[in-house]
Amino acid sequence: MLKTYVAFDLETTGLSETKDHIIEIGALKVIDGKVQERFSQFVKPPEPISPLITNLTGITNKMVANARPTEEIIAAFMKFCGENVLIGHNIMFDYKFMKIYAKEYGHRFEHSGIDTLKIARKVHKDLESKSLGALCEHYQIENQAAHRAYHDALATAKLYHCLGHYFQEKESKLFEPQPLFYRPKKEQRITWKQKEYLQKLSGWYGIELSEDLEMMSRGDASRLIDTILKQYS
């Protein structure tokens, strides 16, 4: 098993790496089997945190209000990670967000990683849930603040060691770091048919469209059309 790595976790405003935003980064750096450094920072999103996310994470708009500039936080996190292997639970979810933020601020974020969720899905087919919470309960790992980034990162590191203790010898390939790869999909622009239809809907229902139609994506246009039809038809 690895004795040097970075375990990390994010809290976000939603599940879409292209539309939602990071609100907290938590990580710990393990060197030669011992926790040597910790990283815990709030990130202020460009939009208010919804009550749903506050209820889930306990993170409020007030808590992120005085966060350092996002560019500084991302730079600090890139430096914290260095060239180390990353460990996470459902790691690609967090990696996608970080990849987008890193690119936005001019950083490279290229790492190999180990996913404790992937390991659990293979070795714990008997468990109904492979969530971090369920696995912590199974292994009696205490997580003092579930759905807070640093504490989930710490719980993930502990889970990695538990899984390794019981299964690394039999399933050694599952514990080998794999390159993490993500390339954000380019949003396709609104079609002329969508634009024409939205303009017709605007006229039919007397709606003033605040969005710049030329800048909309196909997905956003489809969602706006569905919203208008549900509300007015």
Catalytic positions: 147
CA distance 46 to 37: 29
Q: Is 184 helix (H, G, I), strand (E, B) or coil?
A: coil
CB neighbour burial string for 111-121, b if at least 16 within 10 angstroms, e if fewer: bebbbbbbbbe
Long-range contacts for 133-136 (Cβ within 8 Å, ≥24 apart)?
135/89, 135/159
Q: Are 44 and 64 in contact (CB under 8 A)?
A: yes
Structure-block tokens of residue 49: 């945190």
Q: Which residues contact 152 (CB under 8 A, 6 or more apart)?
A: 9, 26, 89, 132, 143, 146
CA distance 147 to 157: 15
CA distance 228 to 12: 28
Q: Which residues on adjacent β-strands are paired with residue 22?
A: 12
